[in-house]
Amino acid sequence: MTQTIKFIERKQSSYIMTLGLSLLVIFTIFLAGCANPNLVPPKVNTTIHTPVINVSLGNISSDNCFVDANNLLSFDLYDKYKTEDGNLFFSSYSIVSALAMTYEGARGQTAEEMRTVLHLPDSKETLRSDFLDVYSELNKFDKTYKLSTANALWAQEDYPFIEDYFNIVTQNYGGSITNLDFVGHSEESRITINDWVEERTNDKIKDLIPQGLINVNTRLVLTNAVYFKANWSKQFNAEDTFDSQFHLNSEETVDVKYMSKTSTYNYGETDSLQILEMDYLENDLSMLIILPKDNNVAQVENSFSLQELENWKNNMADERLRVRIPKFKFETKYFMAEDLAEMGMPTAFSNQADFTGMSETNELAISDVVHQTFIEVAEYGTEAAAATAVTMELTSVGPPVEQPKLFLADHPFIFIIQDKESGNILFMGRMGNPAEE
C-alpha cells in the first residue's frame, strides 16, 4: 500500500510514490503564441551559476563519457537536494538521458549551458556512441534480472519539426516517433503518453504527467523509461526479519522491520563511516550503503563526492558481517526547472532559448522538468521506478574465525544502485525514515 510521504515545493514538488525500478523521462514541448499570445515560456533568472564540480575526472573517469556525465550529475543533484528533510531518491540516468535528447536540438548559448551542466562531451558523435553503448548494455537479454530502458517522442502532427532531428534521436537514442494532436485533443494525448509510461514501468509510475501540463501549446513530448527488478545474490530469510527502532536523529525513533543476515560481503570503513556492497544476482549490479558511524548523515554528505566514493570503493574487501538493514518503500517527485536553471542552464527556460535544432521556428523553450521515482527494498531484492518529464512551451559461508563485525543501519544512510563494471550510477538516494510510505 503506497502512501504519499513527502511533497517538496520550489515551483517544483517532491512526494513519495510507487514500487519498481524504472526510469522515465518526459519532455513536453509547447509552442508559445498560438491560440493565446499570453502563453509564453516562463521567464527565469538568466544569471548563470557555474556548477561546482567537486572532482577531477583525471583519476575517476570511466571509458564511457555518458557514464562520466551521469555520475557527475548524480552528485550535483544530491548536493542540490541534500538539504531537504526526510527521504531522497532520484535517477540522474533518467534525467540526463532525456536532457541529452533535448540537447541534440539546442544551439548556441542554450546548448553550451546544457552541455556544461550535464557534463556532456564536446563531441556529439562521442555522446551518441557512448549513449548507445550504455543503452545496449541495459537492454541486453541474457540476464536473470529485469532491466530495460526505452525512449519515445510524441510530436504535434502538423508542427514543422526538422526531420534530421528526429533521425538523430531514432538512430542514436532508440527513440520511436508518434504523432499526436495536442491542440485538438490535449487530455487524450496526455493519457496516451501516461499509458505508455505505465506500461514501460510495469505499472509502477502512474499519471506521470499531471493534468494541465499538456495543453493546446504543446508541440513535443520526449520520454525515457527504465524498469529494474532483481533478487539479492544473498537473499535475506523472512523468518529472520525482526521489529526494532530506527533512529531518525539523536532524540526521535520510529519502529521498523529489519532484515538480518550474517555472511561475507564487500566492505570498507573509515573513521567516520561504514560502506557495504550487496550484489544482485549475476553480480552485474549492486547496492552500496554508506552508513555514518555517528547518527550524522549531514557530516558525510558535506564531503560526499564522486572522488570520495571511488576512494572508499578502492579500500573495500571481503569481510564477514552481521548485516541488519531496514525494509523500506517510498516514492519521490520533484519539479526541477528552477533547480536546473540555478545549476547553470537558465537560457533553456527563457524566451532566449534556442532549440532551432528541433524546429527552425525558434519558438521552443523548456517550461518545467518533473522527476518521479519509486523504490522498494525487501528480503528478496529490489524493485524501483523513476520518471522525468520536461515540458517546453512556445518558448555460502563457513564458520567464522572471529565474531563478525556488525553493520547495523539503524539511522539515516545514503544508498546507490550501480553497474559494478562500468560504475554507472542508476539511482542515488538517502534513507531518512523507513517508516514513511
Tell me the CATH number at 284: 2.30.39.10
Residue 127 is assigned to a structural domain of this protein? yes
Residue 4 is assigned to a structural domain of this protein? no
Shared domain check, 288 and 154: no
> Over the range 411-434, which residues count as b (16 or more CB within 10 Å of their CB) and which as e?
bbbbbbbbbbebbbbbbbbbbbbb
Shared domain check, 135 and 55: yes
Rounded to an integer, the average pLDDT of 311-317 is: 95
Which amino acid would we find at residue 417? I
What residues contact residue 210 under an 8 Å CB cut-off, 6+ apart? Answer: 370
Shared domain check, 178 and 56: yes
Percent of the chain whose predicted confidence (pLDDT) is above 90: 51
**pLDDT value of position 61:** 62
Of 295, 332, 296, 304, residue with least CA distance to 427? 332
H-only helix segments in 325-388 = 337-343
Number of domains composing the chain: 2
What residues contact residue 58 under an 8 Å CB cut-off, 6+ apart? Answer: none
Q: Judge if pTM exceeds 0.75.
A: yes
Tell me the CATH number at 379: 3.30.497.10
Residue 408 is assigned to a structural domain of this protein? yes
Is the pLDDT assigned to residue 291 strictly greater than 70? yes
Higher pLDDT, 213 or 255: 255
Shared domain check, 253 and 202: no
pLDDT band at 437 (very low <50, low <70, confident <90, very high): low
Is the pLDDT assigned to residue 31 strictly greater than 80? no
Shared domain check, 236 and 335: no
Shared domain check, 110 and 89: yes
Residue 13 is assigned to a structural domain of this protein? no
DSSP string, 117-183: HHT--S-HHHHHHHHHHHHHHHT-SS-SSEEEEEEEEEEETTS---HHHHHHHHHHH-EEEEEE-TT
| 102-124 pLDDT tens trace | 999 999 999 999 999 999 999 99
Give residue 195's domain range: 21-230+330-394
Shared domain check, 140 and 199: yes
Q: Which residues pair with 370 in a beta bridge?
A: 335, 389
Decide: 262 and 322 in contact? Cβ < 8 Å: yes
pLDDT band at 60 (very low <50, low <70, confident <90, very high): low
DSSP string, 376-429: EE-SSEEEEEEEEEEEEEE------SSPPEEEE--S-EEEEEEETTT--EEEEE
**pLDDT value of position 19:** 32
Shared domain check, 302 and 163: no
Shared domain check, 167 and 295: no
Is the pLDDT assigned to residue 14 strictly greater than 80? no
Residue 8 is assigned to a structural domain of this protein? no
Instruction: For the beta carbon of residue 61, count every other beta carbon within 10 angstroms.
Output: 16
Is the pLDDT assigned to residue 58 strictly greater than 90? no
Residue 246 is assigned to a structural domain of this protein? yes
Residue 5 is assigned to a structural domain of this protein? no
Shared domain check, 160 and 81: yes
Residue 27 is assigned to a structural domain of this protein? yes
Is the pLDDT assigned to residue 38 strictly greater than 80? no
Shared domain check, 387 and 248: no
Shared domain check, 317 and 335: no
Higher pLDDT, 190 or 3: 190
Rounded Cα distance between 276 and 254, Å, is 23
